[in-house]
Amino acid sequence: MNRITKYFLFVAMLFCSCGYFSQNKKIDSLLALVKRDNSSPVLGRLGEEDTNKVNHLNNLGWQLRQSNPDTAIILSNQALAIAEKVGWKRGIASALGNLGVYNWLKAEYPKALEYHFKALKMSEEMGNKNGIARQLGNIGIVYHNQADYPKALDYYFKALKMTEELGDKNGIARNLGNIGSVYKDQVDYPKALDYYFKALRMAEELGDKSGVAKHMGNLGSVYNYQADYPKALDYYFKALKMAEELGNKNGVAANLGSIGTVYASQSNYPKAINFFLKALKVAEELGDKNGVAIWLGNIGSHYIATKKYGEAEKYLLEALNLCKEKGALNNERSIENNLSELYTKTSRFELALTHYKKYIVARDSIANDENAKKQTRSEMNFEFEKKEALTKAEQEKKDLIAAEEKTKQKLFLWFTIAGLGIVLVVAVFIFRSLQLNKKKNKIITEQKEMVEKQKEIVEEKQKEILDSIRYAKRIQTALITSETYILRKLSDLKTHK
C-alpha cells in the first residue's frame, strides 16, 4: 500500500473522530477543507489542487501540534508524500520543518534535528532565505533543549544574521530573545539581560504587544534569579498587564504564578498563595489540567510553610490525583515529597513513610526513564551524527569536485583573457603601425604635393621671366634702328654729296 493510499485511509479515519479534534473554528474549517480534498485523487503533477492539499494537511497538523503531536506527524507525513509526488519543493520543505517541530514537542530531538536539517537543505536549494532563517532558528531551539549551548548559540546567531539581512524585525526580536534565554540558562545574567532588552526594544518598535509581554516576563525571571525582587516584580506586573490587555490567558496564568514565586522567594507566603490561587483559577478556566496540577501543588506546599496543614493536604491530594491522571511523573514526585513532609510535621509517620516510598519510586523511575532516554538519545545522536558525517563527507567531495571544476573554469577563463589580451595588444600594435604608416604616407604625399607645387611655381616664374625677356627684346628691337638701315642711310648721304 503506497503512502498516498494510506493518506486517504487516514483522512477517512480522521473524520470518524473529528469531534475529538474539533476544538476551534480554525480546526473545523481545515477539517472541512481536508475532507473536500479527500474526495478528489492526487493528480501527480504540480498544480493548484495538489498544492492546496499539501497546505491544508500541513496547516491542520500545525493546529493540532500541541494537543496531539502524533496526529500532526501523520498529517505532515501525508503532506510530504503528496508534495514529493508532485515535485513541489516548497511544500516538501514546509512538511519537513513541521515534522521537525512535532518531534521536538515529543522530545525526540535527534529526529527533530534530522527533519530540520533536511528542511534547511531544501530551503538552501530553493534560495529561500526566510525558510533558511526559520530552520536555523529551529535547529538552535533543539540544541538549546539538549543543553548543547555552544551549538544553540551558533545556530541562533546564524539565524539572527539571516533575519538582519532580510530586514525581518520579528525574526530579529525572536532570535535575540532566544540568545538571551541561552545566556540565562548558562547563568550569564548580564548577557541574558542585554539580549532580552534588545529583543524588548525591537518588539516595542514593531508594536508587537505579545512579544513585549514575553520579553518583559523573561526580564522578570532573570531579575528573580539575581534576587533583585523589586525589578522582578516590576517586569512581571508589566507583563501581566499586557497579557490581560491582549486577552492571553496562558500569559496571564504564567505571570500570576511567576509573581507568586517572587513573593515565595521573599518568604511572603500569604501573598504567594494569593497569586497562585489566581493562576489556578485562570488555568481552570482554560481547562489546562497540567497548569491546574502545578498551581495546586504550589498552593499546597506553601500552606505547609504557613502551617495550614489541613489546607495543604487538600490541595496536595487534589494535585496528586491530577498528576496520576495525566501521567505527570515529575510533578507527582514533588507532590509525594511534599505530602511526606506534611505527614511528618503532623506526626502521621505511617503516611509520611508511605508517601516517602512513593516519592523514591517516582524519583528512581524518572532517573531510570531519563537514563533510558539518555541512552536512546545517545544512540540516536550517534546515528544522526554518523549520517551527518557521511552527508558532510559527500558534500565535501561534491564541494571538492565543484572547486576543481571551478578552478579549471577559472584557468580557462584566465587563458582566454590572456589570449584575448595578446590578440588585443597585437591588434593595437598593428593598428598603431598602420596609423603611423598612414601618417607617414600622408606627410610624404603632402611633401610631394608641396614640391610639385613649388616646381610649378618655379616653372611659372621662369616662364614669366622668359616672357619678360622676350617682350623686352621685342621692344628693344622696335626702338633701336637696325645696322643695315643705318649703313644704307649713310651710303645715301655720301652719294648726295
Segment 314-339, tens digit of pLDDT: 999 999 998 888 777 778 899 999 99
- pLDDT(413) > 80: no
Angstrom distance (rounded) from CA 312 to CA 300: 4
Task: Identify whether 362 is part of a domain.
Answer: no
Which domain, by its residues, includes 76? 3-289
Q: What mean pLDDT comes out for the span 9-27?
A: 49
Q: What pLDDT, on a 0 to 100 scale, did the predictor assign at position 306?
A: 94
**Residue in 240, 245, 222 with CA at minimum distance from that of residue 232:** 222
Query: Are the beta carbons of 450 and 458 closer than 8 angstroms?
Result: no
Task: Identify whether 365 is part of a domain.
Answer: no
Counted domains in the chain:
1
Q: What pLDDT, on a 0 to 100 scale, did the predictor assign at position 36?
A: 77
CA 280 from centre of chain = 38
- pLDDT(11) > 50: no
Q: What mean pLDDT comes out for the span 445-452?
A: 72
Q: What pLDDT, on a 0 to 100 scale, did the predictor assign at position 275?
A: 97
Q: How confident is the model at residue 139 (pLDDT cuts 50, 70, 90)?
A: very high
Q: What pLDDT, on a 0 to 100 scale, did the predictor assign at position 19?
A: 41
Q: What mean pLDDT comes out for the span 209-216?
A: 94
Q: What is the pLDDT of residues 101-126, one digit of tens each?
A: 999 888 888 999 999 999 999 999 99
Percent of all residues in the chain with a pLDDT value above 70, rounded to a whole number: 77
Q: How confident is the model at residue 384 (pLDDT cuts 50, 70, 90)?
A: very low
Q: What pLDDT, on a 0 to 100 scale, did the predictor assign at position 308?
A: 95
Q: What pLDDT, on a 0 to 100 scale, did the predictor assign at position 309?
A: 94
Q: What mean pLDDT comes out for the span 463-484?
A: 64
Query: Are the beta carbons of 180 and 199 closer than 8 angstroms?
Result: yes
Q: What mean pLDDT comes out for the span 127-152?
A: 94
Compute CA distances 118 → 74, 93, 214, 326, whole Å: 18, 8, 30, 34
Q: What mean pLDDT comes out for the span 194-209?
A: 96
Sign of CA dihedral 343, 349, 352, 354: negative
Angstrom distance (rounded) from CA 202 to CA 189: 20
Task: Identify whether 231 is part of a domain.
Answer: yes
Q: What pLDDT, on a 0 to 100 scale, did the predictor assign at position 489?
A: 64
Q: What pLDDT, on a 0 to 100 scale, did the predictor assign at position 246?
A: 92
CATH number, position 146: 1.25.40.10
Task: Identify whether 483 is part of a domain.
Answer: no
**Residue in 193, 218, 215 with CA at minimum distance from that of residue 204:** 215
Task: Identify whether 389 is part of a domain.
Answer: no
Q: What pLDDT, on a 0 to 100 scale, did the predictor assign at position 486?
A: 58
Angstrom distance (rounded) from CA 127 to CA 138: 18
Task: Identify whether 476 is part of a domain.
Answer: no
Angstrom distance (rounded) from CA 10 to CA 68: 15
Q: How confident is the model at residue 17 (pLDDT cuts 50, 70, 90)?
A: very low
- pLDDT(299) > 90: yes
- pLDDT(59) > 70: yes
Task: Identify whether 480 is part of a domain.
Answer: no
Query: Are the beta carbons of 309 and 345 closer than 8 angstroms?
Result: yes
Task: Identify whether 384 is part of a domain.
Answer: no
